[in-house]
Amino acid sequence: MEFTFLAAQTADGEGSEEMLNRVMPKDNIGLVALLKTKKVEIDMSEKSSEFENMQPFESQPLVVCTAHIHWDPEYCD
């Protein structure tokens, strides 16, 4: 989502210059990724001790997020 672009489009009328000064200096950046573990096939025919207690593996989702948010003390409301 292009926050700066959306903010510039909504900046019309009274007070728009102040609003643009708040949102234009830096972009806030956030990323989200949804990952999923892969199923692994294991040959259980080998009677190795490391496979004795293994349970069937189900695929699991994993969400990873990161954010960088810029704060300007001049606009600290």
pTM exceeds 0.85, yes or no: no
Question: Residue ranges of the domains in the chain?
Answer: 3-75
pLDDT digits 0-9 by tens, 4-44: 677 667 666 555 777 677 666 666 678 899 998 877 666 66
Rounded to 10 degrees, what is the CA torsion of 17, 20, 26, 32?
170
Distance CA 38, CA 40 (A): 6
Distance CA 73, CA 42 (A): 56
